[in-house]
């Protein structure tokens, strides 16, 4: 310590800040790495060594240059071990990152193999020399032997400068990478690593100057016995400058290690790590300022321990607050992902509205704009689902050129996701994601580069992939159901026409011919056969499905329902209340004949099952309410009072016989349905619904 506040306090603050950030980065790389590769451990080890050095450096600054303090000599010696190992660890990490260990015949390996061996031998030699020869002077001794330390002062700068220069060469001219998207990650992280290495090179030059100047100054002053606190002012000033440069280098390394995850073997960054890195910088800055002030202004360190309690509580509280905000963001994404897909409307839409419906693609637009946040995307279905979806679906549809054939990559189940594309060959699409299910490959999802020259995070791509796969499955299922419903409607219409035609021919043509033949020859040999044929056809006409009620064709659906209700109420000896309005009459007039006939028979079945299934008693009121819900749903409520409370809705519907179940299924063909519920007032309400688009 120099005794100058303007120098001592920044030196202590920066030392604490660097130790905090290096420790955080080391633990983060180990815990967040997908694979515990050798390079991951080397990266974490290098960061921990740097943190260990700054811990020793902080202890030295805290104790001051008290020559008789045994802890000063301990931290002085302990700090040199990570100081020697840190440059070598950084060199090894850069070699691993640059692909030195991946390909033994690469130009990088051939160029640096000899140098790597020399650095390895030099590192081992320095460590063995420090362990056996003990070149470091004893700060607590009365006399210093600077001859051995002089050799260390000369050799150590050469060693660290060589490590940094060789690291810079590996960064600027890397070898091939075996990592997925390794070249892309290198391209994004190279400016940060290059800048950090250049800063470290400047640090090495300053350390060299400091060692040489400090050695000459302190050996001379010590020999003259004039070593005072003021002698450390220039040294402390150089220490502050070096620490500032190291802090800047740590921030650059952290940007590459966390934002681009070049040291954690992950191909793409994760959004959470970027936020945590920013949070760690703020926490480390606050921590170093507060605790350096306490350690500097107070002679007893107990206050620092006590302040650590509210500090940790505040950090945890703020972290919980940030977690809550992140959860809100995830909830918004989840709402987008789980938004209604309008499957019901799709199933009962018109057959020709698939390719022209903009509502079909609204959810796809939300996935691209809200979840992935891309400017351009296209979905190309494949396999089974391609039969039920458009040939290609683009975002935005007014800009993307969907007519061009993209070069789909060869799908391999073991390939990592996403797949990097050449934008020049794929109409500015930079990424491709295979959409895979148990059926195999269902399609390809292409999207452009991230706006602003950034990286998509793993979370964004995985969420978008899951959302697109879910959307495709849902739309394909809806299309299958829509086709089946339309096919069923067509078959019903054809069957109805055939039944009416057969009934008319048999009744109007065949029976009169048989009747005439029988009258012409009542006692002939064929008379008995004609009579038998006449009876069989008559019985067939009686057993055939009845024709549509004449009242529906003549007066409309609501008039036919009211007429049927009056007839059934008279049989039940009940007072009828039938509520309708002009909107209902107008909407029901647009219903197809098959749908109107289905509603009519379901309505009549409900009336005929009232007494059997709900315990009706005579002289009660039968209330029928018809209305249009939300402008598109015809709802018919049939209410009557029961003797005792009935069972649950599902049990009522199941116990009401095959008739109601059959009519419920027939209504479902047209998008409708039937349900029975019991109210708290003892009413049984049967509701019939049918869309009236």
Tell me the per-residue pLDDT of 475-523, one tens digit each, with 9 for 90 and over. Answer: 888 777 877 777 777 776 666 666 666 767 776 777 777 777 777 777 7
Last residue of a domain, one of 480, 504, 530: 480
pLDDT at 244: 93
Residue 613 has pLDDT above 70, yes or no: no
Answer whether residue 492 is part of any domain: yes
Query: Do 440 and 528 reside in the same domain of the chain?
Result: no
Give whole-number Cα distances, 313 to 25, 217, 318, in Å.
Answer: 22, 47, 9
Q: Name residues whose C-beta falls within 8 Å of residue 8's C-beta, 6 or more positions apart in sequence.
A: 1, 2, 61, 236, 296
pLDDT at 165: 94
Residues 331, 333: Cα–Cα separation, whole Å:
5
pLDDT category at 348 given cuts 50, 70, 90 is low
pLDDT category at 391 given cuts 50, 70, 90 is confident
Instruction: Name which residue leads in pLDDT, 251 or 366.
Output: 251
Instruction: Name which residue leads in pLDDT, 532 or 453.
Output: 532
Query: Do 424 and 373 reside in the same domain of the chain?
Result: yes
Q: Cβ(269)–Cβ(459) under 8 Å?
A: no
pLDDT at 139: 66
pLDDT category at 101 given cuts 50, 70, 90 is confident
Residue 56 has pLDDT above 70, yes or no: yes
Query: Do 539 and 624 reside in the same domain of the chain?
Result: no
Tell me the per-residue pLDDT of 396-441, one tens digit each, with 9 for 90 and over. Answer: 876 555 545 566 777 777 776 788 887 777 778 888 888 888 878 8
Answer whether residue 330 is part of any domain: no
> Stretch 264-271: mean pLDDT, rounded?
58
| H or E element, residue 378 | strand 377-381
Instruction: Name which residue leads in pLDDT, 399 or 156.
Output: 156
Residue 355 has pLDDT above 50, yes or no: no
pLDDT at 590: 81
**What is the domain range of residue 513?**
486-543
Answer whether residue 669 is part of any domain: yes
Query: Do 21 and 116 reside in the same domain of the chain?
Result: yes
> Stretch 41-53: mean pLDDT, rounded?
87
**Which domain CATH number covers 596?**
3.30.565.10
Looking at the chain, the whole-number percentage of residues with pLDDT higher than 90 is: 10
pLDDT at 650: 44
Query: Do 95 and 222 reside in the same domain of the chain?
Result: yes
> Stretch 141-170: mean pLDDT, rounded?
83
Give the neighbor-by-neighbor strand order of the sheet with 575-579.
Answer: 575-579, 621-629, 633-641, 683-691, 673-678
Query: Do 536 and 556 reside in the same domain of the chain?
Result: no
Answer whether residue 303 is part of any domain: no
**Which domain CATH number covers 17?**
1.20.1070
Q: Which of 86-95, 245-254, 327-336 has the lowest mean pLDDT?
A: 327-336
pLDDT at 117: 92
Residue 670 has pLDDT above 60, yes or no: yes
Answer whether residue 190 is part of any domain: yes
Long-range contacts made by residues 180-184, C-beta under 8 angstroms, separation at least 24? 180/267, 180/416, 181/267, 181/268, 181/416, 181/420, 182/99, 182/267, 184/267, 184/420
> Stretch 343-372: mean pLDDT, rounded?
67
Answer whether residue 315 is part of any domain: no
**Which domain CATH number covers 456?**
3.30.450
Query: Do 121 and 30 reside in the same domain of the chain?
Result: yes
Q: Which of 57-71, 392-406, 541-555, 653-667 has the highest mean pLDDT?
A: 57-71
Residues 118, 134: Cα–Cα separation, whole Å:
22
Tell me the per-residue pLDDT of 625-644, one tens digit each, with 9 for 90 and over. Answer: 888 776 778 888 888 876 54
Query: Do 400 and 440 reside in the same domain of the chain?
Result: yes
Overall domain count for the chain: 4
pLDDT at 658: 66
Residue 352 has pLDDT above 80, yes or no: no
Query: Do 389 and 535 reside in the same domain of the chain?
Result: no
Query: Do 290 and 385 reside in the same domain of the chain?
Result: no
Cα diameter, the chain: 157
Place of tokens 């148990």: 438
pLDDT at 645: 43
pLDDT at 647: 45
Tell me the per-residue pLDDT of 291-300, one tens digit each, with 9 for 90 and over. Answer: 888 877 776 6
pLDDT at 649: 46
Q: Beta partners for 626?
A: 636
Residues 691, 342: Cα–Cα separation, whole Å:
14
Answer whether residue 304 is part of any domain: no
Q: Which of 75-79, 246-250, 616-620 has the lowest mean pLDDT?
A: 616-620
Residue 616 has pLDDT above 60, yes or no: no
> Stretch 67-77: mean pLDDT, rounded?
75
Q: Cβ(691)–Cβ(590) under 8 Å?
A: no
* Terminal C-alpha separation, the chain: 85
Query: Which three-class secondary structure state does DSSP give residue 625?
Result: strand
pLDDT category at 339 given cuts 50, 70, 90 is low
Residues 375, 28: Cα–Cα separation, whole Å:
32
Residue 31 has pLDDT above 90, yes or no: no
pLDDT at 17: 93
Last residue of a domain, one of 480, 500, 520: 480
pLDDT at 626: 82
pLDDT at 13: 92
> Stretch 98-121: mean pLDDT, rounded?
88
| CA angle (96, 83, 89) in 5-degree steps | 5
Last residue of a domain, one of 519, 543, 567: 543
Instruction: Name which residue leads in pLDDT, 527 or 549.
Output: 527
Average of per-residue pLDDT values in the chain: 77
Answer whether residue 331 is part of any domain: no
Query: Do 522 and 403 reside in the same domain of the chain?
Result: no
Query: Do 558 and 495 reside in the same domain of the chain?
Result: no
């Amino acid at each position: 310590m120099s005794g100058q506040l303007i120098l001592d306090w920044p030196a202590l603050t920066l030392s604490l800040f660097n130790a905090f950030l290096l420790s955080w980065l080391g633990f983060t790389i180990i815990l967040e790495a997908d694979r515990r590769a050798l390079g991951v451990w080397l990266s974490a080890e290098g960061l921990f060594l740097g943190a260990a050095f700054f811990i020793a450096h902080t202890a030295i600054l805290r104790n001051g240059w008290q020559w008789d303090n045994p802890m000063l000599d301990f931290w002085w010696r302990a700090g040199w071990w990570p100081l020697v190992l840190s440059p070598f660890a950084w060199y090894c990490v850069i070699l691993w990152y640059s692909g030195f260990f991946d390909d033994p015949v690469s130009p990088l390996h051939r160029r640096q193999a000899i140098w790597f061996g020399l650095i390895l031998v030099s590192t081992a030699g320095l460590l063995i020399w420090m362990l056996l020869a003990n070149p470091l002077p004893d700060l607590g001794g009365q006399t210093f032997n600077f001859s051995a330390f002089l050799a260390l002062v000369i050799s150590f700068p050469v060693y660290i400068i060589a490590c940094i220069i060789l690291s810079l060469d590996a960064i600027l001219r890397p070898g091939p990478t075996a990592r997925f998207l390794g070249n892309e990650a290198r391209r994004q992280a190279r400016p940060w690593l290059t800048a950090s290495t250049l800063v470290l090179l400047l640090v090495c030059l300053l350390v060299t100057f400091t060692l040489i100047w400090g050695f000459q100054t302190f050996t001379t002053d010590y020999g003259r016995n004039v070593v005072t606190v003021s002698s450390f002012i220039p040294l402390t000033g150089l220490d502050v400058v070096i620490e500032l440069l190291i802090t800047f280098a740590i921030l650059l390394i952290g940007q590459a290690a966390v934002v681009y995850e070049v040291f954690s073997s992950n191909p793409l960054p994760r959004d959470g790590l970027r936020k945590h890195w920013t949070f760690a910088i703020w926490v480390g800055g606050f921590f170093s300022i507060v605790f350096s002030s306490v350690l500097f202004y107070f002679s007893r360190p107990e206050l620092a321990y006590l302040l650590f309690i509210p500090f940790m509580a505040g950090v945890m509280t703020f972290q919980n607050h940030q977690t809550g905000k992140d959860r809100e963001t995830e909830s918004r994404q989840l709402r987008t992902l789980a938004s209604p897909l309008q499957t019901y409307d799709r199933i009962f839409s018109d057959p020709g509205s698939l390719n022209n419906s903009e509502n079909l693609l609204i959810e796809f637009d939300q996935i691209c704009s809200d979840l992935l946040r891309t400017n351009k995307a296209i979905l190309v279905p494949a396999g089974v689902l391609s039969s039920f979806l458009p040939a290609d679906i683009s975002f935005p549809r007014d800009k993307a050129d969907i007519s061009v054939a993209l070069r789909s990559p060869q799908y391999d189940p073991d390939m990592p996701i996403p797949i990097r594309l050449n934008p020049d060959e794929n109409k500015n699409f930079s990424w491709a994601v295979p959409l895979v299910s148990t059926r195999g490959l269902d399609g390809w999802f292409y999207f452009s580069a991230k706006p602003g020259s950034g990286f998509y995070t793993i979370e964004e791509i995985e969420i978008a992939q899951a959302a697109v796969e879910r959307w495709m499955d849902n739309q394909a299922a809806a299309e299958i159901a829509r086709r089946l419903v339309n096919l069923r409607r067509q078959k019903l219409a054809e069957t109805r026409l055939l039944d009416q035609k057969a009934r008319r021919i048999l009744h109007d043509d065949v029976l009169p011919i048989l009747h005439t033949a029988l009258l012409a020859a009542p006692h002939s040999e064929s008379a008995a056969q004609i009579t038998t044929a006449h009876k069989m056809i008559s019985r067939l006409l009686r057993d055939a499905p009845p024709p549509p009620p004449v009242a529906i064709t003549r007066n409309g659906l609501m008039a036919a329902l009211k007429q049927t209700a009056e007839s059934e109420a008279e049989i039940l000896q009940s007072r009828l209340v039938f509520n309708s309005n002009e909107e209902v009459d107008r909407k029901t007039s647009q219903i197809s004949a098959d749908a109107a006939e289905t509603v009519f028979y379901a309505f009549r079945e409900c009336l005929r099952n009232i007494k059997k299934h709900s315990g009706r008693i005579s002289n009660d009121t039968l209330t029928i309410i018809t209305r249009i819900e939300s402008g598109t749903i015809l709802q018919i409520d049939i209410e009557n009072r029961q003797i005792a409370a009935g069972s649950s809705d599902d049990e009522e519907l199941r116990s009401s016989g095959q008739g109601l179940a059959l009519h419920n299924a027939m209504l479902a063909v047209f998008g409708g349905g039937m349900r029975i519920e019991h109210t708290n007032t003892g009413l049984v309400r049967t509701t019939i619904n049918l869309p009236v688009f």
